[in-house]
Amino acid sequence: MKYIVSLLAFMVLFSCDTSAEKEQAAPAVPAEETTLDPDYNPEEKLGELGIELSTPSSPIANYVNAVRVGNLIFLSGKGPLKPDGKNITGKVGEDLTIEEGYEAARITGINQLSVLKAELGNLNKVKRIVKVKGMVNCTPDFGDQPKVVNGYSDLMVAVFGERGKHARAAVGMGSLPGNIAIEVDMVVEVSD
């Protein structure tokens, strides 16, 4: 029994020593190089694009528009609510074309930027659009969800430049709340 306990103790010590050696031997990972223009101003870019942000719509259930955790902001899903207060509705591939879906995604992006500005006070605090999840209300045989969600992604890059490039999912849904054409949520890295 003493032999087994001694052997186990030796194995534990040996495994700790080798893991420490591996940590020391691992090469340092270089920090991500940043080639971002420090003078870039997304607020000014919105003006150049002719985009006017509005007051964000209130959540329609028991949730909030955004939650900040550290330097990340998680934005709840928003849809294509137009300035006239009406949503773009219908299924892409049946009621809407890809181009109409693209425009619905772009409007959704404007709505998310309104939420982000309300949370931050100034979009210059955005360090990076990290992740976008686009959910397209479409027919079962529709397979061009990425072309629709490009309306959102293209807007983020137009406003934030390199900071707007993000990881993304573009998926089809059998239905969305209120029959909206698209819903998008996103994660954004911000400065203090």
The superfamily (CATH) of domain 42-190 is: RutC-like (3.30.1330.40)
Q: Which residue has the tokens 């032999």?
A: 3
Read off the tokens for 97.
């074309």
Rg of the chain (C-alpha set): 23
pLDDT at 20 over 80: no
Question: Looking at residues 89-93, what average pLDDT do you find?
Answer: 98
Say what percent of the chain tops pLDDT 90: 76
Q: At 36, is the pLDDT very low, low, confident or very high (cuts 50, 70, 90)?
A: low
**What pLDDT does residue 187 have?**
98
Q: At 159, is the pLDDT very low, low, confident or very high (cuts 50, 70, 90)?
A: very high
- CA distances to 16, 30, 135 from 19, in Å: 5, 21, 43
* 166-169 long-range Cβ contacts below 8 angstroms, 24+ apart: 166/128, 166/129, 166/130, 166/131, 166/132, 167/130, 167/131, 167/132, 168/131, 168/132, 168/133, 168/134, 169/132, 169/133, 169/134
Q: At 43, is the pLDDT very low, low, confident or very high (cuts 50, 70, 90)?
A: very high
Q: How many CB atoms lie within 10 A of CB 76?
A: 17
Helices (H) and strands (E) in the chain, counts: 4, 5
Specify the pTM: 0.80
Question: Looking at residues 169-192, what average pLDDT do you find?
Answer: 96
Say what percent of the chain tops pLDDT 70: 80
Question: Looking at residues 163-177, what average pLDDT do you find?
Answer: 97
| Torsions phi, psi for 147 (to 5 deg) | -65, -30
What is the Cα–Cα distance from 63 to 3, expressed in whole angstroms?
59
pLDDT at 143 over 50: yes
Question: Looking at residues 99-110, what average pLDDT do you find?
Answer: 98
